[in-house]
Amino acid sequence: MYKLFFSCFLILFFSASYAQIGGKHVYEFLNLVTSPRQAALGGKTITIYDNDVNQAHYNPATINADMDNHLALNYGSYFGEVSYGTASYAYTYDRRVQTFQAGVNYVNYGTFDGRDENGIATSEFTGSEIALSFGYAYNVPYSELYLGASAKLIASTLESYNSYGGAIDLGALYIDQDNDINYGLVIRNIGTQFTTYSGTQEKLPLEIMAGISQELENVPIRWHLTLENLQQWNIAFSNPARAEGTIDGGAVEEKVSFFNNALRHVIVGAELFPTKGFNLRVGYNFRRAEELKLLEQRNFSGISVGFGLKFNKIKFDYSYSRYTLAANTSLFGLTINFQE
- Mean pLDDT, all residues of the chain: 87
**What is the tens place of the pLDDT at every residue in 43-90?**
999 999 999 999 999 999 999 999 999 999 999 987 778 899 999 999
- H-helix or E-strand spanning residue 102: strand 98-112
Smallest CA-to-CA distance from 269 within 285, 288, 282 is with 282
Lowest mean pLDDT among 7-16, 81-90, 218-227: 7-16
Question: What is the bridge-based pairing of β-strands 181-195 and 125-139?
Answer: unpaired
| Three-class SS state of 240 | helix
**Predicted model pTM:** 0.86
d(CA 152, CA 154) in angstroms, rounded, equals 6
Looking at the structure of the chain, the number of domains it has is: 1
- H-helix or E-strand spanning residue 112: strand 98-112
**What is the tens place of the pLDDT at every residue in 136-167?**
999 998 999 999 999 999 999 998 899 999 99
CATH code at position 217: 2.40.160.40
Lowest mean pLDDT among 19-28, 118-127, 132-141, 176-185: 19-28
d(CA 238, CA 289) in angstroms, rounded, equals 14
Distance in Å from the first CA to the final CA of the chain? 36
Checking if the pLDDT of 246 tops 80, the result is: no
Q: Which domain holds residue 79?
A: 2-337
